[in-house]
Structure 1
Amino acid sequence: MFLRRVPRTARLQWHLARCINQASLACGPPIASSRQPLPEPSTHAPFPSTRCFHASTTLRAVKPVLLADIGEGIVECEIIQWFVEPGARVEEFSKLCEVQSDKASVEITSRFEGVVKRLYYEAGEMARVGKPFVDIDILGHVSQEDLQKLTPIPSPTQTPAHESTADSASEAAPVDPRRPVTEAPQKPVVLGSATDGAVETPGPVSASPKPKGRHAALATPAVRHLCKELKIDILEIDGTGRDGRVLKEDIQKFIKAKGNGAAAQPTQSGASADAARPPPPSSTGAQLETRQPLTKMQEGMFKSMTRSLSIPHFLYADEVDFADLSTLRSRLNKVLATPPSSPVQSVRNTEGVSKLSFLPFIVKAVSIALQQYPILNARVDVSSDPAGKPQLVYRTQHNIGVAMDTPSGLLVPVVKDVGAHSILTIAAELARLQGLAVAGKLGPQDLSGGTITVSNIGSIGGTYCSPVIVEGQLAILGIGRVRELPDVTQQSDGEWKIKGMRKVCNFSWSADHRVVDGATMARAAGVVRALIEEPDVMIMNLR
């Protein structure tokens, strides 16, 4: 009666100790499995056989890999493509998948060595940060035979997984007394359908549509965005790029081939042809609307700009003369264009920059102005104080974000610690960030940590702009296009005379009016204007 009230584990341990102490004498019944009822102990029946216990169990544990935080407060991201599938062997730092956040695409690597057991998301689904997205069976001291058992291949006669998995596992696996019997045996993973456990019977190879869901075709975010706009399934396109990557030319060929196929297909009747043909545009017809969900980039911009517009802005515009800077830039570009055998190349920085634009000089001028007006490099914090009082957090490094127009949308990569850079190294860093932005390969480290932003809208067009402050910053500079205007001066006799042409550019500043007043912004903008109009002063302030 006592044995029926104690836990099953204690009863097994008690029987094990009794068997060891009375191995040469009569003993209790053999140890039962966790699924069989344990009979009453007997002191008269001899111990029929001894059980062989393994010295150690196979080191096998399924580890769920959590989606790490990729910065900038991102809580979810889209699974673009998987590089693995269930049953695949992976090494440490092997690529698992590519995810697309609000700002960039990132490749996630494995932290473990083992065999992939489960993928939590399909390609195209949204994955939550901090939640498991793949299970990996870690390999310990596993033999080749055990390795094959980790991912068994189902046979045609295998019963569905939800009916036979539990019974087969309990019958085949011996019970180790040292292992708690309350631990459920690990269920084998059956490759095939993830919903009903059905398994395909091997047969002749036939043409079938490409599998969808597990693997998205390799393509850049710009190409994938184009497919979404054209409402084309990227899995239906045969990529001709490297490793089967889908290119824009492949999309154009696919559309052309699809159009020719639709034109060649005969219609069943005139009525069906008229129904399939879109209605002709009419000026007197009703207004038509087409709904389309936002892309990931647009969703990120929607959220960030909604938060940014809660900041009270004020605009300050200034006019800057680029004549002297244009002359200095022309001289420096001649130096950069000199052949390698020239003596001047011995003092040239080996950054691989072949030509300078105005932007590196402007970024450096903003950094020098921040040394005199550090409040523009600060941020407002209202969360750390228990009473909810706002505080200014000053930052020592000048991490200047530069807004860039890319095929995927607006991105703001950051040039870190501009105060420690020269004009040439700033130009090299801008070129690197621009190349990654166009290719859609900007990482979280390239997009985070900005303290102030510069937006060069003049490279596209426009003279004035009203830029919106990025959340977590206090100021932003918008640069218009450089225009040539007549330089008119008044002579001693009172007459006006045109001396020549001058290059003029408009700077538009926006600042957080909660902590930055107009006078401070005007003085800081005056420093930037003076450094641009007299670049020799900027050279004296270089570190």
Structure 2
Amino acid sequence: MKPLPSPQALRLLQGLIRRPCLATRPRPCPPFLHLSKHFHAAARLDRTETHVLSDIGEGVKEVQIIQWFVEEGAPIEEWSPLCEVQSDKASVEITSKYSGVIKKIHFGQDAVVQVGDSMVDIEVEGEEGEGEVEDNAVQQQQQNSSDLADAEQLAEGGGEAVREEAELLEEKAAPGLRSEPSGKHASLATPAVRGLLKEHGLAIEDIPGTGKDGRVLKEDVHRYLEKGSGQPSPSPSSAPPAATRPEVDAKQTETPQKLTPVQAAMFKSMTASLNIPHFLYSDTADITNLALMRAKLNAARNPETAPKYTYLPFIIKAVSLALNKYPLLNARLDVTTDPKKPQLLMRPVHNIGIAMDTPNGLIVPVIKAVNARSITSISQEIQRLSQLGQAGKLGNNDLTGGTITVTNIGNIGGEVVAPVIVEGQLAIVGVGKVKTVPVFADDGLTVKPAQVANISWSADHRVVDGATMARMAQVVQKYLEEPSSMLVDMS
């Protein structure tokens, strides 16, 4: 079998067969007219650089790989995305430190990578030392001449023969030398798109992407679903047979399924939370006056400049005002510096996390410096975080630094919740569904409708006693029942 030409000769051959003159001339155009770019004044030196997982902050020691944006043999540019990883804090996109060709990927999808581990090997192009340039330049010139001769010899048989030979060689050549795209963008998609695919049980490879470099967009998924729904439904004869349904005496089976990155992060976080001794405090707040104020504000607002007010920004501001009176609930318990002498770390800034339901699962973005914000500012920040959360684009800074958490389970349903404290915090508040109930008026005789909601607290019983928690809860309840009193205490 005739030996394959060198990679350099292959590149020259590919340049030859793509020139228009091959369609009309029996011999290729002179190679020196269009291949001079392959000559270098200095010799090229291909070396391999290893991209390691750097420290991404916030004490993160390991991450789980959600998806790779590259594959072995594909070219990569500096600062281009390599992969997306999920820590117990946030989803982060890792970018390349080098430009070159991916030689080896050390970890697969869903693998857990420690900080400092090698992630990928990248073959990069560099220059040799000055002492070796002259000798190697001569060798390179001789090699280039040989490569040109090989390319011209392969081109002797005419355009079609060269084309067939080139196709055969490209199939056998290393993937990194192929001039056609290697398809590394075929599986690119945002977490929101992947959540949509998972919801409908679709494979991303089956959907044509119309985004940049073939990226699959939400519109592509919806278009694919509409096309599928327009097809005629299968006839009854093609429906799954009744035998596929379990029999009454069928044996139970269990199919392993890996946790999603968000579920894995929640598993770790909640497992750590089990070390905190919880206690629950719950009460019902009459928020009729708040409901009336909210309705007036929404009716008078300019939709183009002001966000729509929900109950949540008022609740968050009420919690922040109450923390001014009970700063203990904003502190952190330090048991690692000296386990024999635990201490409280007091924190003056109120960074309040909000539990949020997203296509990727439960996440807790953080509204920073609530004690320096107005209710309108809080509402705008909730809107920003919600939009990023639905799109799967929340950054590490959006998901870290919380000092206390609010979870509004009432948006989905349920009146009472026993929330679990987030590690590094001392308390969490859960708000139930707002409902209308009959209550007695001040005269004790007449009955009137009222808007009420259950508010439940969980606190760390190692440093927070029941009385302190109850007093804190009463202050928050007062602010919600008489929202005008918040104006007096706002600084």
Q: Distance in 2 between matches of 1:323 and 1:535?
A: 10
Report the 3-state secondary structure (helix = DSSP H, G, I; strand = E; otherwise coil) of the residue aligned with 2:320: helix
Matched letter for residue 368 of structure 1: L
Higher CA-based Rg: 1
Q: CA RMSD in A?
A: 3.8
* CA deviation string 1:334-384 (max 9, x = no partner): 33137x8xxxxxxxxxxx433111111111111111111111111111111
Does structure 1 conserve the Cα–Cα contact (< 8 Å) formed by 2:65 and 2:83?
no
Does structure 2 conserve the Cα–Cα contact (< 8 Å) formed by 1:82 and 1:123?
no
Q: How many Å apart are 1:230 and its aligned residue?
A: 6.6
Q: Which residue of 2 aligns with 1:249?
A: 222
1:289-438 residue pairs with structure 2 within 5 A? Answer: 289-337=254-302, 352-385=305-338, 388-438=340-390
Report the 3-state secondary structure (helix = DSSP H, G, I; strand = E; otherwise coil) of the residue aligned with 1:285: coil
Q: Which residue of 2 aligns with 1:238?
A: 208
Q: 1:74 to 1:478 in 2, by over 3 A?
A: farther
Does structure 1 conserve the Cα–Cα contact (< 8 Å) formed by 2:74 and 2:101?
yes
1:99-498 residue pairs with structure 2 within 5 A? Answer: 99-102=85-88, 104-112=90-98, 114-121=99-106, 124-126=109-111, 128=113, 129-136=115-122, 200-201=171-172, 217-225=187-195, 227=197, 233-240=203-210, 243-247=214-218, 248-249=221-222, 252=225, 279-337=244-302, 352-385=305-338, 388-489=340-441, 491=443, 496-498=445-447
Q: How many Å apart are 1:397 and its aligned residue?
A: 1.1
Match of 2:481 among 523, 527, 533: 533
Does structure 1 conserve the Cα–Cα contact (< 8 Å) formed by 2:68 and 2:84?
yes
Q: Distance in 2 between matches of 1:68 and 1:475?
A: 32
Q: 1:118 to 1:483 in 2, by over 3 A?
A: same
* CA deviation string 1:417-474 (max 9, x = no partner): 1111111111111001001111111111111111100000001111111001011111
Q: Distance in 2 between matches of 1:312 and 1:133?
A: 39
Q: Distance in 1 between matches of 2:50 and 2:66?
A: 17
Gaps (5+ residues) in structure 2? 1-40, 151-168, 174-180
Higher helix fraction (1 or 2): 2
Q: Which moved more, 1:67-76 or 1:387-396?
A: 67-76
Q: How many pairs align? A: 406
Does structure 2 conserve the Cα–Cα contact (< 8 Å) formed by 1:79 and 1:121?
no
Q: 1:331 to 1:489 in 2, by over 3 A?
A: closer
Match of 1:98 among 78, 84, 95: 84
Q: 1:251 to 1:409 in 2, by over 3 A?
A: farther
Does structure 1 conserve the Cα–Cα contact (< 8 Å) formed by 2:106 and 2:118?
no
Report the 3-state secondary structure (helix = DSSP H, G, I; strand = E; otherwise coil) of the residue aligned with 1:496: coil
* Residue 80 (str. 1) matches residue 53 (str. 2): no
Does structure 1 conserve the Cα–Cα contact (< 8 Å) formed by 2:67 and 2:84?
yes
Does structure 1 conserve the Cα–Cα contact (< 8 Å) formed by 2:76 and 2:96?
no
Q: Distance in 2 between matches of 1:127 and 1:328?
A: 49
* CA deviation string 1:80-118 (max 9, x = no partner): 131576462513x33333334456432222334x32343
Report the 3-state secondary structure (helix = DSSP H, G, I; strand = E; otherwise coil) of the residue aligned with 1:505: strand
Does structure 2 conserve the Cα–Cα contact (< 8 Å) formed by 1:319 and 1:504?
yes
Q: How many Å apart are 1:394 and its aligned residue?
A: 1.1
Q: In percent, how many aligned pairs have the same letter?
A: 46
Q: Distance in 1 between matches of 2:195 and 2:381?
A: 27
Q: Which residue of 1 aligns with 2:51?
A: 65
Q: 1:283 to 1:125 in 2, by over 3 A?
A: closer
Q: Distance in 2 between matches of 1:361 and 1:216?
A: 45
Higher RCO (CA 8 Å, separation ≥ 6 residues): 2
Matched letter for residue 449 of structure 1: G
Q: 1:263 to 1:220 in 2, by over 3 A?
A: farther
Gaps (5+ residues) in structure 1? 1-54, 159-197, 203-209, 266-272, 341-351
Q: Distance in 2 between matches of 1:427 and 1:76?
A: 32
